[in-house]
Structure formats: structure tokens, C-alpha cells
Amino acid sequence: MELNDRITLSLPCKAEYVSVARLTASGIAYRMGFDIDTVEDIKVAVSEVCSRLINVSKNSDGEYEILYEIDDNRLKVTFSSKNIERAGCIFEDDKDGLGVSIIKAFMDEVEFCPDNKDYILSMTKFIEEKS
Amino acid sequence: MSGELIVRAEYSERDAVVYLSGEIDIYNAQQFKEKIYQVVENSKGDVSIDCSDLNYIDSTGLGVFVGALKKAKQNNRDIHILNIRDNIKKLFVITGLDKLFIIH
């Protein structure tokens, strides 16, 4: 049977909850059968987006959602928010670029600033075929 | 909620060693910054950071490492990184920071 599950996590824009996003990401990735190093990579990439979101959000009452779309061969993670100003392009003026480098290195596909104004970023990791 | 971070410093006549334990992320990066800057300021020589028990670090934490190195270099000193785990070393390599720090 083909997998097509969706899990949504809604979090306040507060630094103390980034670890919750990390735990959820690693739990889902591990459940899908990613190897332990890849689970770690996905966890780090998710955490980087959360941190950046919190840095750019001026309103600590803001919230954001992380949607995990689980297919047989890939995990797609989409971040969205309805109440964070300029949330669409959170990495636009990321000066040091460390977060961007990490996300690009660890995920197979990354879509920054998607057209939909509520979406912030979308990133995908494919499960490697076991030989 | 976040993994606890413990920062312990030992000073000698020649240098200082900082032992990190736990996780560094956006939640506690400021706390880490204050402590590591204090050690860099008070050390009589180079500073070594022992990462044996450091489980996780994000770009916010790496930024603090860079800031501490700049501060050390102003006094012609270096920062040495000891016993770094593979998952964290990977981050140093990806971000190019492995070329800035002395990693043992």
C-alpha cells in the first residue's frame, strides 16, 4: 500500500519550542526508515528554519506550522505562517548564510520563498534505494 | 523543553579549557555566548573547547563560536576544538568553519 500521510505541527514563535520541532522531525524520519545520519541531517535542517523564523518574527505571539508529507520514497517538510510579517522570504537577508548552507547541504530539494504568500519554505529528502 | 547546556571552564597558568555538555540552539545561544566570551577574555592563552558531550549545535551556536574566535584573534590567541563528534564536525565542514578553527 502506498504511503501518503500528513502530520502537522503548530508551534509558537518561541525559542524554547524549537527542540519540539527537532524531536518531531527525527521521530518521523526515523519511522520512515531513513538511516540515523540522515535522520540527524533532517532534524538539523528543520531546526535551522525554525530558528530563522523566530529571528525574523518580531511578534512573539506569532505561530507557524510545519507540515510533514510522508510518501514511500520521500519526506517533504513545508513551513507556513499566516501571522508572521515577511515570513515568505525569511532567508532573504541572512547575512552569515550558515543556516542556508546547512539546509541546502542536508536536504535534496529546497524551495525558498514559494509563490503562495503563506508558505515560507519547502524542503524534501528522498529515501535512497537500498541495493 | 530544550536540551540543557552545561558550560564548565578550567583555567591554568597558560590557557583555559571549556567543557560543553548538552545542546546549543537558539534558546540558549545567548547564555553560551556570555560564558565563552568571558573565558576568552579571562584566559591567559589559547582557549580549548572540549565537545565530547556536545550533542547538538545549530547555526546560532556556530555563530557564537565564530564571534569567540574573532575575540581571541584580537589578542593573538586561538581557539582549539577537541573531541568533536562526527555529526557536529559535519556542520563545521559544510559551513567552512573547519578552516578557521584548529580542530584536534
Å from A6 to nearest chain B CA?
A: 25
Contacts of B32 in chain A (CB under 8 A): none
The residue extents of the domains of chain B are: 5-103
Cα separation values, B29 from A1, A57, B54, B57, B69, Å: 44, 18, 13, 9, 15
Nearest alpha carbon to residue B5 among B46, B48, B47, B61 = B61
The CATH number of whichever domain residue A30 belongs to comes to 3.30.565.10
CATH architecture of B5-103: 2-Layer Sandwich (3.30)
Report the C-alpha gap between B14 and B24 in whole angstroms. 27
Report the C-alpha gap between A14 and A1 in whole angstroms. 38
Mean pLDDT (chain B, rounded): 94
Report the C-alpha gap between B47 and B44 in whole angstroms. 9
Higher pLDDT: A57 or B36? It is: B36
At residue A131, the pLDDT reads: 45
Q: For A40, which of B26, B66, B87 is closest by C-beta distance?
A: B87
Confidence of residue A95 (pLDDT cuts 50, 70, 90): low
- C-alpha cell belonging to residue B44: 591567559
Q: Which residue of A has its CA nearest to B96?
A: A98
Q: What is the mean pLDDT of residues A39-44?
A: 96
ipTM of this complex: 0.88
Q: Does residue A15 belong to any structural domain of this protein?
A: yes
Structural domain boundaries, residue A73: 4-126
Q: Is A99 on the interface with B (CB under 8 A)?
A: yes
Map residue A75 onto helix, strand or coil. strand
Beta strands in chain A (DSSP E): 4-12, 63-71, 74-80, 109-112, 119-126
| pLDDT tens-digit map of B38-83 | 999 999 999 999 999 999 999 999 999 999 999 999 999 999 999 9
Confidence of residue A117 (pLDDT cuts 50, 70, 90): low
Q: Does residue A131 belong to any structural domain of this protein?
A: no
Mean pLDDT (chain A, rounded): 87
Number of domains in chain A: 1
Higher pLDDT: A129 or A102? It is: A102
Contacts of A99 in chain B (CB under 8 A): 58-59
Tell which of B57, B60, B92 to mutate to test the A interface (max A CBs under 10 Å). B60
Q: For A51, which of B23, B26, B94 is closest by C-beta distance?
A: B26
| pLDDT tens-digit map of A69-94 | 999 999 999 998 877 766 557 777 77
Q: Does residue A53 belong to any structural domain of this protein?
A: yes
